[in-house]
Amino acid sequence: MSERQSNNGSAFGRRKALALPFAALAARSGRAVAQAKEPFRFGCLMPTTGLEAGYGLDFVKTFEMATKDINDHGGVNGHPLEMVVLDTQAKPELAIPAAQKLIDVDKVPLIVTAWSSVVKALGPVMNRGRTLQLNMGANSPDIANLGDFTYSTFPLADVDVTALANYCHTKMGKRRAAVLYINNDTGIGGAKLFRDTFTKAGGEIVAFEAYDPKATDFTGLLLKVRVANPDMVHMHSLAELPQVIAQMRQLGMTQQITSYSVGYNPKILAQLGAAAEGLIVTSLAPTSTANPNVVKLLDLWKQVGRAPNGLPYLQYAWDTTLVTAQVYGWLDQQNMPLTGENCRKALLAIKTFDLPMTGKLAVTDDHKVQKPVYLYVVKNQQFTLLETIA
Amino acid sequence: MIEPAILLQILWTGIAMSSYFVLLTVAFALTLKVEKLWNFAQAGLMGVAFFAMFYAMNALALPTWAGIAIGLGATIAAAVALEVWAIGVLRARNSGGLTFFIFTLVFSQFAAYALTILFGTEPETIYPSVMSPVRILGGVAVSDWDLLAVATTLALMAALWAFLRFTRDGQFMIAVSDNAKLAEIYGISAKRAYVISGVIAAIFLTAGIFLYGTRAGVTPDVPLVLVLTAVIGALLGGIGRIFAAGVAAVSLGLLQSFSILFIPSKWQALLLYGVLFGALILFPRGLPAWRIWRLRRRLGPATPPAAPEPLTEAGE
């Protein structure tokens, strides 16, 4: 289990402060740079190795960028913010002992997480350990029911998948849908939601098929779909999404393909080429055109030297760091110790967060997050905005 | 669902997809036969082959033939080095079977970690695109990748058969596999046979992982999963039966492909291990069809009495 601590992220230049609540906290401390006071630490459980590391490492990088930015602007009331990162490989069996270490050894009161199977597995661990879990990227609808110590800063699938399924039926006129999904918590939850929403809207699900997470050949599965004769195929996949699409197109199947936010990834365009044309995916965060704050994040990534994986997720990673800073700042102002229970109290007391990358976040009793949904379609090898669903 | 065109498509794609399993299984079975070695280090060699080709073709932007040549060279060099400086040393010390097993496993894990440090853990494909041109023949989609995979596998299998059947080194390998000490009394170098079997296995491994890596993403720990499938093929084919192991690999691939007609797709992987479980319990020496066939060849009136057993095995 690899571990690293970070309070300054990568070597990025000093940036202008965004108009953020935490900046006000920093200003109140009267310090330009957080150094002298005891650091405030939070945990970060992400896949930094394994199949999902392409996303996980970029999430961690963005947490580091945001943490550095906060510290460059005075930290949290003068306290430097520190992150303790542990690897999960997106696997619950690794995430549970890692979380236990963060709770028992590192004594962090708040842990940021992602990946549905990990977040769901950690729900009971967080409840027992009375430590706050902030989910910043998993979208299984079940996450809303994990108890008092799991909240999301990221909308669950019932936001974007519901919007997508309704759009396909009402706006695109699709009537017969096939749903293919990876057989894990991410796939099962999202696929069921698409099925139920599409059916409720009046459509028919003509095939509903899961595949093994280690599968590389999807021919039989796709032939089953072909026989069912759908007019669209929704894929609730992870890293294997390009392979499924490639094999579908190679079998001569030309149906409309949709996926969720994991499909909004430039690498998919490179792997599929012309076969990606027409693919519709969701995104839960505005682009740099709609939100100039995103330019700052893109500028930081330019210094890394490559396009980041899953930019919308990174926007949530950035904002989740700010939520953490605000929660810690609120507790510091109230002279309350940094515990999981107090972090939960602070989250509910602050209730509304104005965040630079993803907009307003309202913490609600149902543990759900409402955000606008952006639908993108691949046109001429680029993701083009198709519709914004408020 | 059960229409001729669909059955043909599943059959064709199943054969094409099983091609790299055949190559990896034959590599494993060959080492098992000649060296009596459960060589899990082949997972590490697969990793070396894939990332050498990946680096050559992507970072160095070399053409495909040069990338394959570099991958092949690196894998053969690693295989020979492993044989001469590690496995050969253990053999000279009369180490137990468990020591070999643990060593080869440790080598593969070491290679996986080293490759992780060098190349990261994001799934990579040899070519940036996973698409392959397709033509429809008789209602069946046949991609260039399918043709390349099947042709490569057939060519390598035929070459191996010819090598074992018609060359002195091939026959010496069979002799060593039958009884290494007796073979050495007759002046056959067991060491040379081991090195040659390692080199041949390296060629098969490079070809297998090239085909896999042009279709699906590879991370440094993927070869460990692939070598397990090769073990299943080698066990089902019967220990020491190289070509039967290849046939078992194709059969397993087809079984998995056709199972989609009867069971949900998510159970396909379970089926593979279920078959292995049943086969190990019921037929610990391999599936009985092969044994009956061999018995008929041995006892049947048409069988030439002078044919030596090891050569018969090689000629399966």
Q: How confident is the model at residue B292, as a pLDDT?
A: 54
pLDDT at res. B288: 60
Q: How large is the average pLDDT for residues B220-226?
A: 89
Question: How far, in Å, CA of A223 to CA of A216, rounded?
Answer: 15
Secondary structure (3-state) at B274: helix
Is residue A13 over pLDDT 70?
no
Q: Are B253 and B247 in contact (CB under 8 A)?
A: no
Share of chain A above pLDDT 70, in %: 91
Lowest average pLDDT, out of A237-241, B219-223, B285-289, goes to B285-289
Looking at residue B296, what is its pLDDT? 61
Residue B286's pLDDT is 65
What's the pLDDT score for residue A18?
44
Cα angle, residue B67 at apex, residues B61 and B73 outer, rounded to 5°: 140
For chain A, state the CA radius of gyration.
21
Whether B308 and chain A come into contact, CB under 8 Å, resolves to: no
Collapse the DSSP code of A82 into the 3-class scheme (helix H, G, I; strand E, B; otherwise coil) and give the result: strand
Whether residue A58 contacts residue A47, with contact meaning beta carbons closer than 8 Å, is answered with: no
Sequence-ordered list of residues with C-beta below 8 angstroms from that of B262, at least 6 positions apart, any chain = none
At A104, list the tokens: 């028992």
Please report the pLDDT score of residue B4 as a whole number.
84
Please give the residue that has the higher pLDDT: either B170 or B258: B170
Q: Which residues pair with residue A281 across a beta bridge?
A: A376
Average pLDDT over residues A44-60: 88
**Residue B120: pLDDT band with limits 50, 70, 90:** confident
Identify the pLDDT of residue B70: 97
- Coil/strand/helix, residue B219: coil
Q: How high is the pLDDT of residue A35?
A: 56
Does residue A14 register a pLDDT over 50?
no
Indicate the CATH number for domain A3-155+290-357: 3.40.50.2300
> What is the chain A residue with the closest CA to B220?
A50
Reading the block at residue B134, the tokens are 């397709």
Q: What is the pLDDT of residue A210?
A: 92
Q: Quick one: pLDDT band at residue B43, thresholds 50, 70, 90?
A: very high
* Cβ-defined contact of B9 to A251 (cutoff 8 Å): yes
DSSP string, B96-147: -HHHHHHHHHHHHHHHHHHHHHHH-SS-B-SSS-----EEEETTEEEEHHHH
Residue A273 gets which letter from DSSP?
Answer: G
User: φ and ψ at B225, to 5 degrees?
Assistant: -70, -40
Distance of CA A390 to CAs A160, A170, A200, B88, Å? Answer: 10, 16, 20, 68
- Indicate the range of A59-73, A253-267, B45-59 predicted with least confidence: A253-267
pLDDT value for B53: 97
Residue A272 in tokens = 């599929």
Render pLDDT for A206-234 as a digit per residue (tens, 0 to 9): 999 999 887 888 888 898 899 899 999 99
Angle in degrees, CA B273, B274, B276, rounded to 5? 60
Highest average pLDDT, of A56-65, B116-125, B212-221, comes from A56-65
Mean pLDDT of chain B: 86
| DSSP code for A256 | E
Per the model's pLDDT, the better-predicted residue between A343 and A12 turns out to be: A343
Least confident of A61-65, A275-279, B133-137, B159-163: B133-137
Mean pLDDT (whole number) for B258-275: 79
From A375, A371, A367, A312, select the one nearest A165 (Cα to Cα). A375
Confidence class of residue A199 from pLDDT cuts 50, 70 and 90? Answer: very high
pLDDT of residue B309 exceeding 80: no
Q: Tell me which fold the domain B4-314 belongs to.
A: ABC transporter involved in vitamin B12 uptake, BtuC (1.10.3470)
Instruction: Give chain A's contact residues with B (Cβ, < 8 Å).
Output: 48-51, 53-54, 57, 183, 209-212, 214-221, 223-224, 226-227, 239-240, 242-243, 246, 249-252, 270-275
Higher model confidence: residue A17 or residue A6?
A: A6
Question: Which of A207-211, B230-234, B292-296 is least confident?
Answer: B292-296
Residues facing B256 on adjacent strands: none
- Chains A, B: CB contacts within 8 A come to 111
Residue A285, token pair as written in the block:
């965060």
Task: Quote the pLDDT of residue B290.
Answer: 54
Minimum Cα–Cα distance from B113: chain A residue: A49
Cα distances (angstroms) measured from residue B198 to each of A162, B47, B52, B80, B314: 55, 16, 18, 7, 16
Query: Which of A112-121, B1-10, B216-225 bottoms out in mean pLDDT, i.e. has the lowest?
Result: B1-10
Q: Alpha helices, DSSP H only, in B120-218? A: 144-166, 168-178, 180-185, 190-213
- Tally DSSP H helices, then E strands, for chain B: 14, 2
Cα–Cα dist A248/A236, whole Å: 15
CA–CA dist A151, A146 (Å, integer):
9
- List, for residues A285-339, the tens digit of each pLDDT value: 888 877 889 999 999 999 888 778 778 889 999 999 999 999 999 999 999 999 9
pLDDT score for B229: 85
SS3 content of chain A, % helix, strand, coil (to 5): 45, 20, 35
Does A13 or B102 have the greater pLDDT score?
A: B102
Residue A237, both tokens: 């996949």
Mean pLDDT, residues B43-59: 96
- The pLDDT assigned to B285 comes to 67
Interface with B, mutate which of A46, A182, A217, A226 (most B CBs under 10 A): A217
Query: Which tens digit of pLDDT belongs to each residue from A100-119?
Result: 999 999 999 999 999 999 99
Per-domain boundaries in chain B: 4-314
- Amino acid found at A314: L
- CA distance to A66, A231, A254, B50, B218, per residue, from A246 (Å): 36, 18, 11, 21, 16
Rounded to an integer, the average pLDDT of A40-46 is 96
ipTM: 0.74
pLDDT of residue B298: 61
Please give the structure tokens belonging to residue A331: 């507790």
- Rounded to the nearest angstrom, the gap between the alpha carbon of residue B280 and the centroid of all alpha carbons in its chain is 20
CA A120 to chain centre: 14
Please tell me the distance from the alpha carbon of residue B189 to that of residue B187, in angstroms, as a whole number: 6
**DSSP H helical segments within chain A, as ranges?**
21-29, 53-72, 92-104, 116-129, 157-170, 185-200, 219-228, 241-250, 266-272, 293-304, 311-333, 340-350
Q: Percentage of residues in chain A with pLDDT exceeding 90?
A: 59
- If you classify domain A158-283+374-389 with CATH, what class do you get? alpha beta
Looking at residue B144, its pLDDT comes to: 93
pTM (2 d.p.):
0.72
Query: Which residues of A fall within a CB distance of 8 Å from B129?
Result: 270-273
Please tell me the distance from the alpha carbon of residue B91 to that of residue B195, in angstroms, as a whole number.
13
**A152 or B307: which leads in pLDDT:** A152
Confidence (pLDDT) at B289: 56
Report pLDDT digits (tens) over A322-331: 999 999 999 9
pLDDT category of residue B307 using cuts at 50, 70 and 90 = very low
Contact (CB, 8 A) for A237 and A182: yes
CA distance A390 to B75: 55
Q: Residue B76 has what pLDDT?
A: 97
- Range list for CATH 3.40.50.2300 in chain A: 3-155+290-357, 158-283+374-389
> For residue B148, what are its two tokens?
């390349």
- pLDDT computed for residue A329 by the predictor: 96
| pLDDT recorded at residue A19 | 41
pLDDT in tens, B130-182: 888 888 888 889 999 999 999 999 999 999 999 999 999 999 999 999 998 89
Where does residue B62 fall: left (phi above 0), alpha (psi -120 to 50 degrees), or beta otherwise?
A: beta
A246 to chain B: which residues are within 8 Å by CB? 130-131
CB atoms A251 and B260 under 8 Å: no
Residue A30 confidence (pLDDT): 44
Q: How far is CA A49 from CA A2, A53, A241, A270, B155, in A?
A: 9, 5, 19, 22, 37
Task: Give the containing element (helix H, strand E) for B179.
Answer: none
Q: Do the beta carbons of residue A331 and residue A346 sit within 8 Å?
A: yes
Q: Using an 8 Å Cβ cutoff, are B237 and B245 in contact?
A: yes
Cβ contacts of B270 within 8 Å, gap of 6 or more: none
With contact defined as beta carbons under 8 Å apart, do B142 and B135 qualify? yes
* Nearest beta carbon to residue A252 from set B141, B219, B264: B141
Residue B1: the pLDDT is 58
Strand partners, A208: A179
What average pLDDT does the segment B54-58 reach?
95
Cα angle, residue A46 at apex, residues B106 and A112 outer, rounded to 5°: 150
Instruction: Nearest by CB to B121, from A50, A240, A273: name it.
Output: A50
